[in-house]
Chain A
């Protein structure tokens, strides 16, 4: 199929449709609304379910109910709306149900603004809902990658019975890029093709119960261990990461999504100046590409984390690198995307040997930021 120019939000919606999405529940919020708007005509056109719920709470709980039937289900929102969904996400996890959520992040905390940001990192990657659970987090950095990851997100969710989150920021939702759509898959016939755990009506068979309540602690512990064992498989099988110019790199930049793209421009500019720097761009944020970062910690002199949040991913990189090399921070907040020259300055600082294991990188970054305001 030929490449078409797609807006990120619309492209994700169409990719979900082609992956066999059967029911969508959502509530409008900028900068995600086009996704819902697109599905509001696309889903009925195909005879599939679209519901604009009364709120994000309604939407996530409709997802919960629909997921119980074994249907492919999805919701989408942006940061403040995703906060409202946290209880439902924890219930989905506790009930071991697959679902897909798209979070098109915007500036925060609170109502914030509608500009691109990555401040939901901790909430999504480390779990904003209660209890022991993980969500599989996919972080595209282009419209094509958003299409490809959305397309596989349902398979991943069902294989491991987890919620898969496609995590991007407003700029990828709003930008247009050429993308090639995957083929249209047939939708699952229900109840004939329902997974073996789905509730489809118990006529003529043992009844199945889907719930997240285990009043006896040993039963809850057993459920927790079952969920964790499945997650261990995710860690073993599903880490995704893209590297650029790392073969001979003596410095590494780490960034995901839009920040990763900005970092790529900066890395190219630094290479043009003769600085041997490369880029590691995590595509799965949970599971985090730990092994590859550990491996590069043995190769490079220092690392630089570029993010549109206040050093949230920085802490994951520091945890993985375990003090073997200095890790510095270059970040912008509140809906501001860093520009390549800001990142280039930070790379030059690494090349001058200014990265250090002393103190905390966030303090040094804050000091540089204090020159701005």
Chain B
């Protein structure tokens, strides 16, 4: 069994780090995992994405055509990945950066105004954590606590003071969705 997650957005939105965090959490939970970035000649503000696979056996292809879940941080990512998600999969959309509603009705769609929530918590740079929280609420591939533990262990030392804010952002994303489902 494996779960494929694509995180896509503009460079600088924390797409690659959010994916690494998932991979750290999966590894620390004793699972197999791969993290692979799109590593073309990109620049800040250009598009960036990574694929994370979490599995209970040796992982084959590091990239798949139809992922189980996608976090779309911006409009180009939504347009590119919405049609590709497996039926029954999960799409998390950062509605702050997207001016249309998703069209698929055979997947779980989670819409979160990530930028606004992050700004309320003190920094727009927390947007990736808000959306990651939202993803894990809808796709319980790993518990939120595993992500928090990975943050505590793998966040660079100079950023450790931001840990509480990151925890808050993860929870805010997860809780936002809880309300929306009710």
Partner-B contacts on A (CB < 8 A): 3, 5, 30-31, 114-115, 142, 170-171, 174-178, 258, 261-268, 337, 339-341
Say whether B34 faces chain A, with CB atoms less than 8 Å apart.
Answer: yes
Residues of A within 8 A of B27 (CB): 3, 5, 178
Select one of A30, A115, A177 contacting B34, CB under 8 A.
Answer: A177
Select one of A115, A266, A340, A341 contacting B40, CB under 8 A.
Answer: A115
Let me know if A174 and B20 touch, CB within 8 A: no
Let me know if A339 and B36 touch, CB within 8 A: no
Say whether B23 faces chain A, with CB atoms less than 8 Å apart.
Answer: yes
B53 to chain A, nearest CB (A): 10
Known A142-B59, A175-B34; further 8 A-B contacts with Cβ < 8 A: A5-B33, A171-B36, A174-B37, A175-B37, A263-B60, A267-B60, A337-B63, A340-B61
A336 to chain B, nearest CB (A): 11
Taking A258-B62, A261-B59, A340-B65 as contacts, is the C-beta distance between A176 and B20 under 8 angstroms? yes
Taking A114-B40, A170-B39 as contacts, is the C-beta distance between A265 and B33 under 8 angstroms? no
Which B residues between 1 and 44 are near A, CB-CB below 8 angstroms? 20, 23-24, 27, 32-37, 39-41
Which B residues between 46 and 94 are near A, CB-CB below 8 angstroms? 58-66
Residues of B within 8 A of A337 (CB): 61, 63
Let me know if A264 and B65 touch, CB within 8 A: no
B26 to chain A, nearest CB (A): 8
A7 to B32, CA, bound (A): 15
Count of B residues near A, CB < 8 Å? 23
Looking across the interface, which residue of chain B has its beta carbon closest to that of A4?
A: B27
A265 to B60, CA, bound (A): 5
Let me know if A265 and B64 touch, CB within 8 A: yes
Looking across the interface, which residue of chain A has its beta carbon closest to that of B37?
A: A174
Let me know if A341 and B65 touch, CB within 8 A: yes
A341 to B40, CA, bound (A): 23
B15 to chain A, nearest CB (A): 14
Taking A5-B20, A340-B65 as contacts, is the C-beta distance between A262 and B36 under 8 angstroms? no
Looking across the interface, which residue of chain A has its beta carbon closest to that of B2?
A: A265
Let me know if B60 and A262 touch, CB within 8 A: yes
Task: Tell me which of B36, B58, B62, B66 has the highest count of chain A C-beta atoms within 10 A of its own C-beta.
Answer: B62
Task: Tell me which of A31, A176, A264 has the highest count of chain B C-beta atoms within 10 A of its own C-beta.
Answer: A176
Let me know if A340 and B64 touch, CB within 8 A: yes
B20 to chain A, nearest CB (A): 7
B33 to chain A, nearest CB (A): 6
Partner-A contacts on B (CB < 8 A): 20, 23-24, 27, 32-37, 39-41, 58-66, 154
24 of the cross-chain contacts (CB-CB < 8 Å) are: A5-B24, A31-B39, A114-B41, A115-B40, A171-B63, A174-B36, A175-B35, A175-B37, A175-B62, A176-B35, A176-B36, A258-B62, A261-B60, A261-B61, A262-B60, A262-B61, A265-B64, A266-B61, A267-B60, A268-B60, A337-B61, A339-B65, A340-B60, A341-B66
Residues of B within 8 A of A171 (CB): 36, 62-63
Residues of B within 8 A of A31 (CB): 39
Let me know if A178 and B40 touch, CB within 8 A: no
Taking A3-B27, A5-B23 as contacts, is the C-beta distance between A339 and B61 under 8 angstroms? yes
Let me know if A264 and B60 touch, CB within 8 A: yes
Residues of B within 8 A of A170 (CB): 39
Let me know if A261 and B62 touch, CB within 8 A: yes
A265 to B51, CA, bound (A): 15
A310 to chain B, nearest CB (A): 21
Looking across the interface, which residue of chain A has its beta carbon closest to that of B59?
A: A261
Task: Tell me which of B36, B41, B60 has the highest count of chain A C-beta atoms within 10 A of its own C-beta.
Answer: B60
The 3 closest A-B pairs by CB, nearest first: A265-B60, A264-B60, A175-B36
Residues of A within 8 A of B63 (CB): 171, 337, 339
Looking across the interface, which residue of chain A has its beta carbon closest to that of B35?
A: A176
A259 to B59, CA, bound (A): 13
A337 to B58, CA, bound (A): 19
A207 to B27, CA, bound (A): 54
B150 to chain A, nearest CB (A): 9
B145 to chain A, nearest CB (A): 18
Residues of B within 8 A of A262 (CB): 60-61
A118 to chain B, nearest CB (A): 15
A263 to B58, CA, bound (A): 13
Looking across the interface, which residue of chain A has its beta carbon closest to that of B39?
A: A174
Let me know if A178 and B33 touch, CB within 8 A: yes
A155 to B39, CA, bound (A): 33
Residues of A within 8 A of B41 (CB): 114
Looking across the interface, which residue of chain A has its beta carbon closest to that of B24?
A: A5
B78 to chain A, nearest CB (A): 21
Let me know if B35 and A5 touch, CB within 8 A: yes
A340 to B34, CA, bound (A): 16
A278 to chain B, nearest CB (A): 13
A5 to B39, CA, bound (A): 18
Residues of A within 8 A of B62 (CB): 171, 175, 258, 261
A171 to B40, CA, bound (A): 11
Residues of B within 8 A of A266 (CB): 60-61
Let me know if B58 and A264 touch, CB within 8 A: yes
